Structure 1
Amino acid sequence: MRQTTIENIMAGRRERRLRWIMVTGILSIVAITLSVAMLMLGNTIYPVKDVVGVLLGADIPGASFAVETIRLPRMLAGFFAGIAFGIAGNTFQTMLRNPLANPDILGITAGSSVAALICILVFQTSNTTISIASVCAGLVTVVIIYVLSRGGAFSIGRLILIGIGIQAMLSAVISYLLLIGAQQDLATALRWLNGSLNGSQLQAVLPLIITVIICAPIVILLGKHLHLLELGEQSAASLGLNTDRTRMLLILSSVAMIALATATTGPIAFVAFLSGPISKRLVGIGYSNVIPAGLVGVNLVLAADLLGQFAFEVRFPVGIITGLLGAPYLLYLLIRMNRKGSL
């Protein structure tokens, strides 16, 4: 009987591992396909061989400028912003054990947005300054929320409520900045606030790429500790986990990614909110869904950008398309949580 139980456990473990590999593989293939489509499609459609040739250094009239200068930076911005939003959103939702606990609702994205808008509308600074200010503002917002939520003992419910309050306050600041901003800067600010890949430049995308390359592996390596935090503060501590240090590493890595992604593309709506639940539904339980969440984020951003460019007569920023996808899910989630008594 004992041997049969062990065999059943091992069989279940192998099945879950196979499912994780299959889901991750399929998401990777979809992400690669969408990335290639981003490079091929535009006012002129270039074949795959021309795109590959340009990427390998060949000089192809027309294709070289379109792919290297316009489409490649746009694709890289969407790809790495999707990873950043997806992983960061999943981290906060898992760590705080609440699907509403994502950077958009907690005010982290709004904090970065306020700093970026001040740079755009008030000081007209460079992209580098905007990136630095966004990261610093995101970190300051997290520290304020975390300190106010402790109150002697860490409380997830208190943190979410304080985060929602901070988010509301920062949204008011954003409205004020738009009200006092110069007329010639408002178009740029509004386009940025909607979340857009338009006008992406390789120099502006490089800080995001470097940040994701550094921070994403940290979150992936801490994936098993993230699952321990999901069990609760006391359970994780009883298993020997230094909860404060682990949580701080996860928060710093996630905020750095989310802030740089926000500074680069603007606050693309609902990607951080949707990536975690979708990846968890696809992967199931038993294995970390950090990598699948990042891939879901990539697929959401790239697919939404392609839809915004080519599915309608008017071209829409990527954030509008993701907002249309995410808003119904948010309403569904709120209704379901209300029925369960989780709100």
Structure 2
Amino acid sequence: MRAGGLSLRYEPRALFSVLGLVVLALAFAVVLIGSGDFPIAPGDVVATLLGDGTPVQEFAVMELRLPRVLVAVFVGAALGVGGAVFQSISRNPLGSPDVIGFGQGSTVGALVVIVLFQGSAAAAAGGAVVGGLITATVIYLLAWKRGVHGYRLVLVGIGAAAMLTAVIHYLITKAQLVDATRAVVWMTGSLEGRDWEQFWPLFAVSCVLLPVVLGHGRALRMLEMGDDAAYALGVKVERTRIVLMASAVLLVAVATAAAGPIVFVSLSAPQLARRLTRSPGPNLAASAFLGTALLLVADWTATNAFGERRLPVGVVTGVLGGCYLLWLLVSERKAGRI
């Protein structure tokens, strides 16, 4: 597509796939806002969002349900983009933040605040961000050897994840009963009780980092071809890799701080986006909207599919993601890649 001296290349299937994911995410967001003990029809939800609802509907939508749904939207987008970045950099479908230790690092950071310092929810969120950044730095340095090879990054990350999981179990066993309960609830990953206090920091960080990652999409696509090819095409490989990894780690850490460690979204969203668009490259936009749609669908399932027993959304994503991981391992083994 050309306009004057500018040109834009796009693939129709990828474009329509992204548009379809946007529509799906918006539809489930409206349905989720209308679900609950006080059900609201989708039409009334839209009218309330436009300012034409009753006072009761405005309170239920604007104060109770909209913040939760917006947190889900940005958490899903952050996890989807973070997973796409790491899978592209490692050139490995298992190169996901919740597989190679970054999610566990955020969890350890939050548990240290909760168990050792009895910190508030805001302090635990800060601990999750710091823990994720420290873990990412250590894993990157351990994986460095004249560059960062994909399989080396994944292997070091899996080892770090195992060690951090042991630290998590140790912290829980050392905690007092009340703190241990808080820690287990946070570790499950849930959107219950999320309000504007969790949304605004997540929104601010996402508005800064998502454009940074999307702006490096072309360079990230070249990195998938290998460092030598990227160098030959004019990409400043190490600087680009550090910027992208730092942005992805922050996105995943802030998402974890807002909703707890919601597993497998960052693993499955980029892979499903590739299969949906059938397009090479990181598919950042498709991964973001697919991550959002997955989390909204999982949250609706957790709150409505089991009657009065509402499950944390992390339980649903863990079950679905575990099934997807098994299928991915089997398919990769059949293809001879693992």
Normalising by structure 1, report the TM-score.
0.91
Kept after mapping to 1: 8 A contact 2:88/2:282: no
Q: Which deviations, in whole Å up to 9, do the C-alpha atoms of 1:68-101 show, x marking residues without a partner?
A: 2321121011110000000000111012110000
| 1:334 paired residue number | 329
- Post-superposition offset of 1:340: 3.3
How far did 1:57 drift?
5.1
Structure 1 segments (4+ residues) deviating >4 Å: 56-59
Is 1:324 aligned with 2:319?
Answer: yes
Once the two structures are superposed, the pairs formed by residues 301-312 of structure 1 within 5 Å of their partners are: 301-312=295-306
Query: Of Structure 1 and Structure 2, which has the larger fraction of its residues in helix?
Result: 1
Deviations 1:28-53 (Å, cap 9, x if unpaired)? Answer: 00000011112111111113454345
Give CA deviations for 1:129-158 in whole Å, capped at 9, x if unaligned: 223222222111111111111134432222
1:342 is displaced (CA, Å) by 2.4
- Deviation digits for residues 138-191 of structure 1, max 9, x if unmatched? 111111111111134432222111111110011011111111222123333222
In structure 2, C-alpha distance between the alignment counterparts of 1:153 and 1:306, rounded to whole Å = 43
Counterpart secondary structure, 1:331: helix
Code of the aligned partner of 1:315:
R
Deviations 1:204-246 (A, max 9, x none): 2211111111111111111111110000111111211110000
Per the alignment, residue 143 of structure 1 pairs with 137
Paired residues of 2:69 and 2:296 also in contact (CA < 8 A): yes
Contact 1:20/1:287 (<8 A) preserved: no
1:176-195 matches, within 5 Å, as 176-195=170-189
Partner of 2:257: 263
Matches within 5 A, 1:267-278: 267-278=261-272
How has the CA–CA distance of structure 1 residues 56 and 119 changed in structure 2, closer, same or farther, with 3 Å as cutoff? farther
Amino acid at match of 1:139: L
TM-score (norm 2): 0.92
**Mapping of 1:167-178 within 5 angstroms?**
167-178=161-172
**Alignment correspondent of 2:75:** 81
CA drift of 1:124 comes to 2.6
Aligned to 1:247: 241
Question: Structure 1: where are the runs of 5+ without partners?
Answer: 1-12
**Identical columns (%):** 37
> Which residue number in structure 1 is paired with residue 3 of structure 2?
none
Q: What letter matches 1:337 in structure 2?
A: E
Among 202, 209, 218, the residue aligned to 1:208:
202
- In the other structure, the counterpart of 1:8 is none
Q: Provide the alpha-carbon RMSD of the alignment.
A: 1.8
Question: Structure 2 vs 1, CA of residues 119 and 65 (structure 1 numbering), >3 Å: closer, same or farther?
Answer: farther
Does 1:236 find its partner at 2:233?
no
Q: Specify every segment of 5 or more residues in structure 2 that has no aligned partner in the other structure, as ranges.
A: 1-7
Letter in 1 for 2:153: L
**2:63 corresponds to 1:69:** yes
What is the distance in 1 between the residues matched to 2:61 and 2:178? 29
Deviation at 1:54, TM superposition (A): 4.1
Partner residue, 1:127? 121
Tell me whether 61-70 or 23-32 shows the greater mean CA deviation: 61-70
1 CA distance for matches of 2:67 and 2:118?
A: 22
Q: Structure 2 vs 1, CA of residues 329 and 48 (structure 1 numbering), >3 Å: closer, same or farther?
A: closer
Secondary structure of the residue aligned to 2:257 is: helix
**What's the offset of the Cα at 1:193?**
1.0
Give the match for residue 283 of structure 1: 277
Q: Report the Cα distance in structure 2 between the residues aligned to 1:48 and 1:328, rounded to whole angstroms.
A: 32
Residue identity in the other structure for 1:29: V
Which residue identity does 2:321 align to in structure 1? G
The one-letter code matched in structure 1 to 2:290 is V
**Residue from 34, 38, 47 that aligns with 2:28:** 34
The residue aligned with 2:4 is none
Give 2:5's aligned residue: none
Give the aligned length: 330
Deviation at 1:127, TM superposition (A): 3.3
Counterparts of 1:223 and 1:238, CA distance in 2: 17
